Amino acid sequence: MSRLDLVVEETERDRFARTSEVQIGDKKIRTPNFCALIQYPWEFEAFMGLSLTSTATEQLGSYVMRVFDASDILVPRLRIKGQTNLMGGNFTDELFSKFQRQNILFVDPALEYLFHEFHFQRFTKASQNLPIHRQITNYLNARERRRKNSSAKDYEKWKRASHTSFWHELDRNSKQRNDMIASFLDVELICGADILIPPVPFVTSEGLLDIALRINKISQAIATERAACATYFLLQKSILRHETMLDKIINFIKNDTNAITVFKFKNLTLWESGCIVERELFGKLKDAITEVKRSNPKKLYMILESSYQSFLCGCFFDVVSSSLRGFDRDSNYGQTGYGAWFYPEKLCHIKFSDLPTIMKNNGGRLPCNCAYCQNLTIPKLKNMSLEEWRDGRRIHYTLTMNELMKMIDEAIRTRKIELTREFLINSEMRNLKDLIPRF
Amino acid sequence: MLSILRLPGGRFLVELKAPEILAYKEVLSLRPKDRDSYIQGLIVQILGMNPQGVTVPEISKKTRLNRNTIAKHLKRLVAIREAYSLNRGNLSIYYKNGKVVHSRSSEHKFANDRFFTFYRLENDEGRFIYIQEKEIDEFRATKVKGGILVKDEDFLTFMRELQKFALEVSGNEST
**What is the tens place of the pLDDT at every residue in A211-252?**
999 999 999 999 987 889 999 999 999 999 999 999 999 999
Q: In this structure, are residues B116 and A2 in contact, taking their beta carbons and an 8 Å threshold?
A: no
Q: Same structural domain for residues A326 and A347?
A: no
Least confident of A34-38, A109-113, A172-176, A435-439: A435-439
Q: In this structure, are residues A107 and A70 in contact, taking their beta carbons and an 8 Å threshold?
A: yes
- Phi, psi of B145, deg, nearest 5: -105, -25
Q: Same structural domain for residues A327 and A395?
A: no
Q: How far is B130 from chain A, CA to nearest CA, in Å?
A: 11
User: Cα(A236)–Cα(A407) distance, rounded to whole angstroms?
Assistant: 30
Last residue within a domain, chosen from A332, A359, A390: A332
Q: Same structural domain for residues A366 and A314?
A: no
User: Cα(B50)–Cα(B70) distance, rounded to whole angstroms?
Assistant: 16
Q: Same structural domain for residues A235 and A258?
A: yes
Identify whether A382 is part of a domain. yes
CA nearest to B155, candidates B173, B121, B135, B129: B129
Domain edges within chain B: 10-96, 99-153
Length of chain A: 439
User: Cα(A46)–Cα(A40) distance, rounded to whole angstroms?
Assistant: 10
Q: Same structural domain for residues A318 and A375?
A: no
Contacts 24+ apart (CB under 8 A), B152-159: B152/B126, B152/B127, B152/B128, B153/B126, B155/B129
Identify whether A1 is part of a domain. no
pLDDT of the residue at A92: 62
Nearest CB partner across the interface for B30, out of A3, A178, A189: A178
Identify whether A368 is part of a domain. yes
CA nearest to B130, candidates B142, B146, B115: B146
How far is residue A152 CA from its own chain's centroid? 30
User: Cα(A72)–Cα(A55) distance, rounded to whole angstroms?
Assistant: 29
pLDDT of the residue at A343: 96
Residues of B in contact with A182 (CB under 8 A): 30-31, 34
By CB atoms closer than 10 A (0-12, 13-18, 19+), residue A342 is buried
Q: Same structural domain for residues A278 and A382?
A: no
Cα A145 to Cα A148, A152, B80: the distances in Å are 5, 13, 52
Q: Same structural domain for residues A327 and A292?
A: yes
**What is the tens place of the pLDDT at every residue in A170-195?**
999 999 999 999 999 999 999 999 99
Last residue within a domain, chosen from A313, A332, A351: A332
- pLDDT for B164 beyond 70: yes
Q: Same structural domain for residues A152 and A245?
A: yes
Nearest CB partner across the interface for A178, out of B31, B141, B143: B31
Whether B82 and chain A come into contact, CB under 8 Å, resolves to yes
Least confident of A61-70, B89-98, B151-160: B89-98
Chain A residues at the B interface, defined by Cβ less than 8 Å, are 1-4, 174-175, 177-179, 182, 186, 189-190, 192, 217-218, 221-222, 224-227, 257
Cα A275 to Cα A241, A272, A362: the distances in Å are 9, 6, 34
**What is the tens place of the pLDDT at every residue in A72-114?**
999 888 877 666 555 555 556 788 888 998 999 999 999 999 9
- pLDDT for A8 beyond 60: yes
Q: Same structural domain for residues A307 and A378?
A: no
User: Cα(A119)–Cα(A125) distance, rounded to whole angstroms?
Assistant: 10
pLDDT of the residue at B140: 67
Q: In this structure, what CATH number is given to the domain that contains residue A135?
A: 3.20.20
Q: From its phi and psi, is residue A15 left (phi > 0), alpha (psi between -120 and 50) or beta?
A: left
Residues of A in contact with B22 (CB under 8 A): 217-218, 221
- pLDDT for B139 beyond 80: no
Q: Return mean pLDDT, chain A.
A: 91
Q: Same structural domain for residues A201 and A68?
A: yes
- B34 contacts A2? CB cut-off 8 A: no
Residue type, A76: P
**What is the tens place of the pLDDT at every residue in B69-126?**
999 999 999 988 888 888 888 888 998 887 776 777 666 667 777 888 888 888 777 8
Identify whether A68 is part of a domain. yes
Q: How far is A344 from chain B, CA to nearest CA, in Å?
A: 39
- If DSSP codes are grouped into helix, strand and coil, which group holds residue B88? strand
Q: What is the mean pLDDT of residues A260-281?
A: 94
Identify whether A383 is part of a domain. yes
- Interface-testing mutation among A1, A133, A252, with chain B (most B C-beta atoms within 10 A): A1
- B41 contacts A224? CB cut-off 8 A: yes
In chain A, % of residues over pLDDT 90: 75
Q: Same structural domain for residues A323 and A192?
A: yes
Provide CATH code, domain B10-96: 1.10.10.10
Whether B49 and chain A come into contact, CB under 8 Å, resolves to no
Q: Same structural domain for residues A66 and A91?
A: yes
Last residue within a domain, chosen from A305, A332, A359: A332
Q: Which domain holds residue A59?
A: 6-332
User: Cα(A134)–Cα(B6) distance, rounded to whole angstroms?
Assistant: 51
Least confident of A177-181, A280-284, B10-14, B86-90: B10-14
Length of chain B: 175
pLDDT of the residue at B2: 45
The pTM assigned to this predicted structure is 0.87
- Count of domains in chain A? 2
Q: What is the mean pLDDT of residues A336-352?
A: 92
User: Cα(A156)–Cα(A193) distance, rounded to whole angstroms?
Assistant: 35
Q: What is the mean pLDDT of residues A23-30?
A: 90
